[in-house]
Amino acid sequence: MELVNKLVQQYAEKYTSAEDVLIAEVGMYTYTNHAHAQMLSGHLQGKFLEMISCMLRPKRILEVGTFTGYSALCLAKGLVDDGILHTIELREEDAATAKSFFDRSFYKNKIIIHVGEALDIIGEIDETWDLVFLDADKENYINYFNRVMPKVKPNGFILADNVLFHGQVLEDEIKGKNAIAIQAFNDMLLERKDVERMLLPLRDGVFLIRKL
Ligand SMILES: C[S@@+](CC[C@H](N)C(=O)[O-])C[C@H]1O[C@@H](n2cnc3c(N)ncnc32)[C@H](O)[C@@H]1O
């Protein structure tokens, strides 16, 4: 299902500031060399993540699902001077690609990449979070949320990507393990009294969740 009209997308991209040179390079590299390049946030969503981060000026950011590093470089732009972004990636090859881009960036010493299972690693990082971006395996979204939520500061934000899951959550009968998991995540949030939430129909759907 096409969630955003192509002409609207092109118009929005035309009037959105261009990507930084290195961030554009991550995109080009990924589109040229990676079989799953569609996972990358891309121009509009990347700029949205950058804007949110620049508004919040976070000290500690956690990203779950690094891929080739595009969204991490966008989120890092809002970090305060002594801010740190932790990002977690399961696949060693993607983590190595991301690290090669981080090392060439201004954020070389501000981005820490962890390689392995996110659920294990989240528990091992002794931090409290101003901003969390969930963008790894959809079946674990509820687990990720439950694990990070106690460590999110009051008024801190969790952003979750792909919460419309290509429109599959709109269907009468939701099929496929990922769409079912996303629907369960969205329904779980409906019941929570300790968050304020907004489902933004940007790209594949981004949930903005503020811890009260
Ligand atoms: C949608 S991509 C992330 C895209 C990236 N945030 C961006 O916008 O460019 C999801 C990533 O999560 C990783 N991933 C999947 N399951 C994971 C897990 N259990 N632990 C850590 N990373 C995982 C995948 O290998 C993949 O690179």
pTM check: above 0.95:
yes
The pLDDT of residue 2 is above 90? no
Phi and psi at residue 124, to the nearest 5°: -90, -15
* C-alpha 148 – ligand 1 centre gap (Å): 16
Three-class DSSP labels, 56-80: HCCCEEEEECCCCCHHHHHHHCCCC
Domains along the chain? Answer: 6-211 (3.40.50.150)
Ligand 1: which of 25, 36, 90 to mutate, most ligand atoms within 8 Å of CB?
Answer: 90
Q: What is the pLDDT of residue 1?
A: 80
Q: Give the number of the atom of ligand 1 that is nearest the alpha carbon of residue 69.
A: 9
* C-alpha 147 – ligand 1 centre gap (Å): 17
Q: Which tens digits make up the pLDDT trace of 172-206?
A: 999 999 999 999 999 999 999 999 999 999 999 99
Q: Which tens digits make up the pLDDT trace of 15-53?
A: 999 999 999 999 999 999 999 999 999 999 999 999 999
Q: Which tens digits make up the pLDDT trace of 115-160?
A: 999 999 999 999 999 999 999 999 999 999 999 999 999 999 999 9
Q: What is the pLDDT of residue 108?
A: 97
* C-alpha 30 – ligand 1 centre gap (Å): 14
* C-alpha 89 – ligand 1 centre gap (Å): 6
Taking residues 83-90, report their average pLDDT. 98
